Amino acid sequence: MTQNDIVQKLWNLCDVLRDDGINYSDYVTELVLLLFVKMEYENTQAGLLNAHALPEGKRWPDLTGRSGLELLNFYKQMLLDLSKSDDRLIAAIYADAQTRLREPRHLEQLIRDLDRIDWFSAQKDGLGDLYEGLLEKNANETKSGAGQYFTPRALINAMVRCMKPRPGERIQDPAAGTGGFLIAADQYMRDQTDDYLDLDRSQADYQKLKAFVGIELVPGTRRLALMNCLLHGMEGDDEGVVHLGNALGQQGAQLDRADMILANPPFGTAKGGEASITREDLTFRTSNKQLAFLQHIYRGLKPGGRAAVVLPDNVLFEAGQGTEIRRDLMEKCHLHTILRLPTGIFYAQGVKTNVLFFSRGTAENPHQDEGCTDSVWVYDLRTNMPSFGKRTPFNEAHLAPFERCYNPAGADALSEQLAARKEGDWSFGAEEIDSQKTADPDANVGLDEETRARLQTARWRRFSREWIRDTKGDSLDITWLKDADSLEAENLPEPDVLAAEAMSELAEALRELDGLMAALGNEDEAAAQKTLLAEAMGLGEESGNEVKG
């Protein structure tokens, strides 16, 4: 039985719960409460998990040995008892956990069906891959609920391979979601060190207890992240690997500086505007959560620390504070790479996203705090690419050309990677794409006209800091390939994708207008207009799409 087979079987169990009034999103949470008990039992039987074993009388065989109303009542009490466990992580995982199951027969069937699955016929990755598979199912089929916390595994893995985390480094995710980035970084280092057996005892303990820290705002999501991490052998500090809190509040300000930050912050405007972003140490006040997270990330790096962060297009071109934040980023950090991602790979498929790669200071002087960015490399994986979704899945093969361009030398040091880079990549038919001829001429000094012309259709280009400042006004929304879909109606994306993109752009325009009204001192009029808009759209309060890593 493959991992995909197990995921499908788990997903099919949701049909059992429909008569109990439980929807897909509630089902994922309901299933995971049972899954942790089952996986803890299986791992304990295999000698893989001992430090945080469930207490006697609260284990999987205690469920399988009961039936009927006795089982349901026992299970409810079991969840309550586990929330009061002396084991801090078990207590955190089951804090406020309650079952919504009302029919004993449904609980019996779930337990019976979970018991029939041959867990170890698939590759061992435990709850992590199983849960992420369920999230992907939920994101693709329901467009709601737990899907908002799903970042494609292919993208996470590619980002981690580019960043090359090393044992002994402090790795942070300030918007941890279910812990995907932290677990992928841990797995990458395990693969490089024979599951940490190449490390001495103190180094291995550091990896287990101190190397990773995440912040998650939503208690239920943090529960799933703790389960995920613990079953992957990541224990963390007294609060676990993922702490409950707000990275844009004082808890984020109190985090130690990191060697590496990997993140996919939530999309949208902070509810409550700037007032909900309570960080006093952030230089630039903004209600844009991504811009606030970006400040946290580059301010939270140690000298020489590095980051890879997923951000929507508005961060690249927003005026006002957005421009100031980008300038500050390029002053204090070496923003060396931008990956323009294709549409349709996230839950909010109308949102266009990018990955920004940067390091604090420069390779020559990690403590440098001015003029750190000399040029930016951009890979366009969006123009004339499919609109990915259920029918056209996004996978690691689509990211392989970018990874080869990012590190053509196979080196660990960023300075060596940058020195080996050369413009030009024509993957996915880029040579056939028309050009808008906006490339930086300074990037092509000494090249003949034929080479320059050919580079106009490459997906991989370099742009100088001076050109970004003088030509783009410090906007990082850099494009040079012409999208054929803009000219050929038969190649347009699906109507729901176009509508989602239009809604996303409208929401961003309205947010900027709201900021302008506030700057002009007319908050009351802005509030009245927002109330009218909410009534027109049938909304009870302001809301926005959120996507987490």
* DSSP string for residues in 173-188: ETT-TTSHHHHHHHHH
What is the predicted pLDDT for the residue at 417? 94
Strands 375-380 and 460-464: antiparallel
CA-closest candidate to residue 75, choices 86, 64, 84: 64
pLDDT at 291 over 90: yes
Strands 212-216 and 171-173: parallel
What is the predicted pLDDT for the residue at 530? 75
Copy the structure tokens of residue 150: 């799903």
Crossing angle, helix 153-163 and helix 180-192, to 10 degrees? 50
CA-closest candidate to residue 478, choices 356, 394, 359, 369: 356
Identify which has the larger pLDDT, 52 or 166: 166
| Tokens 């788990």 -> residue | 10
Beta strands in 90-217 (DSSP E): 171-173, 212-216
What is the predicted pLDDT for the residue at 546? 40
What is the predicted pLDDT for the residue at 8? 78
pLDDT one-digit tens code per residue, 375-419: 999 999 999 998 787 778 899 999 999 999 999 988 888 999 999
Hey, which residues does 307 pair with through a beta bridge? 261, 358
Identify the burial level of 345 via C-beta atoms within 10 angstroms of its C-beta, where 0-12 means exposed, 13-18 middle and 19 or more buried.
buried
What is the predicted pLDDT for the residue at 53? 80
pLDDT at 275 over 50: no
Mean pLDDT computed over 329-352 = 87
CA–CA gap between residue 371 and residue 365 (Å, rounded): 11
Is 97 within 8 Å of 223 (Cβ atoms)?
Answer: yes
What is the predicted pLDDT for the residue at 38? 86
What is the predicted pLDDT for the residue at 129? 67
| Tokens 């500090």 -> residue | 237
pLDDT at 123 over 50: no
Q: Which of 60-69, 122-131, 272-281, 380-389 has the lowest mean pLDDT?
A: 122-131
Contacts of 26-29 with CB under 8 Å at 24 or more apart are 26/100, 26/145, 28/131, 28/134, 28/135, 28/138, 28/145, 28/146, 29/146, 29/220, 29/224
Averaged pLDDT of the chain: 83
For the chain, the residue count is 549
What is the predicted pLDDT for the residue at 119? 65
Cα dihedral across residues 208, 214, 219, 221: positive or negative: negative
pLDDT one-digit tens code per residue, 452-475: 778 889 999 999 999 999 999 999
What is the predicted pLDDT for the residue at 379? 98
Q: Which of 27-31, 480-484, 542-546 has the lowest mean pLDDT?
A: 542-546
pTM for the whole structure: 0.82
What is the predicted pLDDT for the residue at 499? 76
pLDDT bracket for residue 299 (50, 70, 90): very high
271-305 exposure pattern, b = at least 16 Cβ within 10 A, e = fewer: eebbeebebeebebebbbbbbbbbbbbbbbbbeeb
Largest Cα–Cα distance in the chain? 81
Is 310 within 8 Å of 354 (Cβ atoms)?
Answer: yes
What is the predicted pLDDT for the residue at 280? 80
Fold assignment, 246-491:
Rossmann fold (3.40.50)
CA-closest candidate to residue 436, choices 450, 460, 452, 457: 457
CA-closest candidate to residue 124, choices 199, 49, 185: 49
What is the predicted pLDDT for the residue at 151? 84
CA–CA gap between residue 256 and residue 345 (Å, rounded): 32
Copy the structure tokens of residue 516: 């302008």
pLDDT bracket for residue 227 (50, 70, 90): confident
Task: Delimit the domains of the chain by residue range.
Answer: 3-137, 246-491
Mean pLDDT computed over 145-155 = 69
Q: Which of 135-139, 402-406, 545-549 has the lowest mean pLDDT?
A: 545-549
What is the predicted pLDDT for the residue at 529? 77
Residues 6+ apart with CB under 8 A from 511: 269, 287, 288
Collapse the DSSP code of 194 into the 3-class scheme (helix H, G, I; strand E, B; otherwise coil) and give the result: coil
Copy the structure tokens of residue 208: 């287990």
pLDDT at 200 over 80: yes
Q: Looking at domain 3-137, does it have CATH number 3.30.470.20?
A: no
What is the predicted pLDDT for the residue at 518? 72
Copy the structure tokens of residue 494: 């699906």
What is the predicted pLDDT for the residue at 147? 43
360-372 exposure pattern, b = at least 16 Cβ within 10 A, e = fewer: bbbbeebebeeeb
Strands 333-340 and 460-464: unpaired
**How would DSSP label each residue in 396-449?**
HHHHHHHHHHH-TT--SSHHHHHHH--S---GGGGGGS-B-----GGGGTT--H
CA–CA gap between residue 266 and residue 544 (Å, rounded): 10
pLDDT bracket for residue 293 (50, 70, 90): very high
H or E stretch covering 460: strand 460-464
DSSP 8-class letter at 195:
T
% of the chain at pLDDT higher than 90:
45
Is 439 within 8 Å of 455 (Cβ atoms)?
Answer: yes
pLDDT at 126 over 60: no
Identify the burial level of 266 via C-beta atoms within 10 angstroms of its C-beta, where 0-12 means exposed, 13-18 middle and 19 or more buried.
buried
Identify the burial level of 22 via C-beta atoms within 10 angstroms of its C-beta, where 0-12 means exposed, 13-18 middle and 19 or more buried.
buried
Mean pLDDT computed over 211-227 = 90
Q: How would you write 235-282 as a 3-class SS string?
A: CCECCECEEECCCCCHHHHCCCCEEEEEECCCCCECCCHHHHCCCCCC
pLDDT bracket for residue 12 (50, 70, 90): confident
